[in-house]
Amino acid sequence: MEHGDCVAIIAIDDEDNVLLVNQFRKPVEKRLLEIPAGGIEPGEEPADCVRRELREETGFLPRRVERLGGFYSAPGYCTEYLHLYLATELVPSPLQAEDSESIRLVRVRLSEVPGLITSGSICDAKSIAGLLAFLEYRKQG
C-alpha cells in the first residue's frame, strides 16, 4: 500500500519529561499513548512538519529540532517511512488542527518509558521504536 512519508517526534521538555499524546485510534477501537507524529504535506520539509505537528498535537513549538534517523512503519504492508526527530527547547505555541480535539497531552518522566513499554501501556510500533532509539542515542551522548 502506498503511503506518504511521516514524522515521529520525541519531544523532551526542560524537566526531562517526554511529551506523549493519548488519542483514540479507530482501527483498534481504543485510546493509545503515543509519541506525536503526522504526515508530511507535499512540498513540506520534515523539520517543518515536526514543528507543525508538535504545535497541533501538544501546543508546543520546539526551538531546536534534530534528526535522529528513521524507519519504515510496516514494510511488509506499506511504503510509509517515518523520519524520527528530537524536539527540545519547547515553548507554548498552540496551533489548532481539525482532528486534534480528542488528543490529550501526557507528560511522562523519561525514566518511566521502559516500564510503560514493557507493561504494554505504550504499544504502537512507531512509539516503541522511536523511544528506544532515543534512549540509546541519549546513552551515547
Tell me the CATH number at 101. Answer: 3.90.79.10
pTM: predicted TM-score of the whole model, two decimal places: 0.95
Between CA 35 and CA 25 the distance in angstroms is 14
Does residue 51 lie in a domain region?
A: yes
The mean pLDDT value for 54-72 works out to: 97
15 against 141, higher pLDDT: 15
Q: Where are the alpha helices (DSSP H) in the chain?
A: 46-58, 113-119, 125-140
Domain assignment of residue 18, given as a range? 6-140
79 against 101, higher pLDDT: 79
The cell for 101 is 480535539
DSSP 98: T
Mean per-residue pLDDT of the chain = 94
Does residue 21 lie in a domain region?
A: yes
